[in-house]
Structure 1
């Protein structure tokens, strides 16, 4: 990560935590590579803190080891040895919207834009699934996301219900993504 990129990260006031993920090449055991990827990610996270990124901004620090190779080879390909730093996509999987921490301070333009984008995806998926006659889990989750995200967008920024429906929107969207992947 360049100094410019770390400055941008410090300047980004986001409700989404930063995720740091370490990767390795394909040489060595899975266990060793998992640990090596974790060490890489932890080193980058410490470096971010040293240049002034708030510890509170750093969320998940994890390893993908030798999974998700950039270059699919079984040799020591240097480009597979990397660390990615980015903003977390809200709720990779969602058990309950109540489990998601979202404070009133998160309500703002970025949240509204995110909710609007999720609503657009839900409406498009719902329409597509309706036209195809498919009414399985993806159809149900598209309908739930369409309803939850629509309500969240329509609520006033000062409303406590805004936070509740934003959480519901994120959860329904995550469930829709999982259902579409099946």
Structure 2
């Protein structure tokens, strides 16, 4: 590894080449002083990224994984025609969609041009979650206190509500940020 011994100080003493003058009077101090202020430029999506959309995106990914896990549990333990929840694979479909939305929201830090795509995916998540919630609610109308599968569907509905809230918050933030850039 190379090493250099270079003085990086801003202040420097310099001797003037004058003859017959004392040494102390010949030293001149030079200092760096800024003469103009540079404009304070903000990075793209600066205000949005201060709100930490990646945190909500990470929560979307985690809740999507939980939703997929519940769907796999239903797929293994239930007959496919038992409920609308298992027939349409509601949990797997919404879980995968929210995982994708969360990953795209996390990538906004590096790729600001993904804002419109992330907004579109999160709006699509909201639409799909409305359809999924209505299917789950249709199943829950046949509630029997001893049916454990319906309790799991209720858990799936709660996870879906969490995922929908996260997407709604992200959609609001993305719309506000998009309005700043469109004339």
TM-score, normalising length: structure 2 = 0.29
Which protein shows a greater Rg?
Answer: 2
Higher strand share: 1
Higher helix share: 2
